[in-house]
Amino acid sequence: MLKVEESQLVETVKGRRSIKKFQSTSVDKQLVVDLLNDAVWAPNHGVREPWRFMLFTGEGKETIVDALQNECERGKLSTKNPDKLIERYRHIPAHLVVVMEESEKKKIWEEDFAATSALIQNLQLLGWEQGLGMIWKTNQYINSGSFCEDIGVQEDEKIVGIIHMGYPEEIPEAKERKKAEDKLTFVNKKESLT
């Protein structure tokens, strides 16, 4: 079998890390726009493009901070240390909230959720190539109607993730992955798999 050198894409996929600690350097809004314009090429059934984005930077981050504080006051923020979480949100240079239109049809909802998730992965990979670190967060409060209302998410939308972004303060070591062969079933002929 011919062994081909790893492509830049493979290096990016394997090299990307979820970043939890960011430098205080601000993130250029135009860079985020440019990355999103490339990320939207994610596969999406019927080219429905079910996503919408909200970028919170600078003083705009206080909108999310206020929403978290409101959740805390309502007793809906399930974290051991809400003050620490809120300060962390203030320190992160940018928060991109990625929402999708919700369909009542299960098939369309699942397709749109998968497409929006693919877009987020595209965004993370494209950002990594530019030296921009991200982490995709799906904390329970993204499902709170009051939190969503406080930050401007519409009733017919779902937050797929809040993407914290900035320039990495530190890059974690890679964690080993299982080989695909260990989780792959080959089916060469029609037979019962049970």
Assessment of whether the complete model's pTM goes beyond 0.85: yes
C-alpha distances out from residue 73 to 6, 24, 41, 83, 95, Å: 51, 28, 40, 12, 22
**Alpha-carbon span 116 to 159, nearest angstrom:** 10
pLDDT in tens, 166-177: 999 999 999 999
- Give tens-digit pLDDT for 145-156: 999 999 999 999
